[in-house]
Amino acid sequence: MTQKYEHLIVRKPLTVSELPDHDLSQVIPYPVLMCNKLVPEAKAWALYLFIKEISQQMKDIAIKTDRATPHMHDFDEMYLMIGEEKAITFEVMLGDEVYRVETPGAVYIPKGTPHAIRPVDALVGKSGGLIPVCLNGEYTTLPVER
């Protein structure tokens, strides 16, 4: 029997060493789960950053991490904050406003909206992470005019 849809399944992430306007050098390489390089038809791009069990060292690194440089996209994006309840608290900048969002949670970012994200707290022993999903086949950023 022909496996008509097998090529739509990603079984191994594509790792990349950097993303434009992001400095998460403590957690590289970045595992990309979906992009048009993995699935040519894909009109989505997704990265997986998940911590199975948060240690004190991971927490210290997370809260010292600068947020991404404020940037925007010419496509919609979502942040999926996954994991145990309140495992990680993220600070999300949308336009001129800043919000705190705990796991599990989600943020929808319309195209053209300046945004940035960073972890600001984590609970040792819990599990959690972030999946950015860009509704485009590849990841690109646009500068924010200041």
Answer yes or no: is pLDDT of 95 > 90: yes
* CATH topology (fold) of 16-139: Jelly Rolls (2.60.120)
Q: Per the structure block, which two tokens stand in for 119?
A: 């972890």
Contacts of 101 (CB under 8 A, 6+ apart): 79, 81, 89, 90, 92, 107
Write down the pTM of the prediction: 0.84
Q: Indicate whether 90 pLDDT > 90.
A: yes
146 compared with 112, residue with greater pLDDT = 112
Give the mean model confidence (pLDDT) for residues 90-118: 95
Please tell me which residue, 135 or 64, carries the higher pLDDT value. 135
> Residue 117, by phi and psi: left (phi above 0), alpha (psi -120 to 50) or beta?
beta
Query: 79-118 b/e with 16+ CB inside 10 Å = b?
Result: bbbbbeeebbbbebbbeeeeeebbbebebebeeeebbbbb
What ranges do the domains of the chain cover? 16-139
**Summary mean pLDDT of the chain:** 88
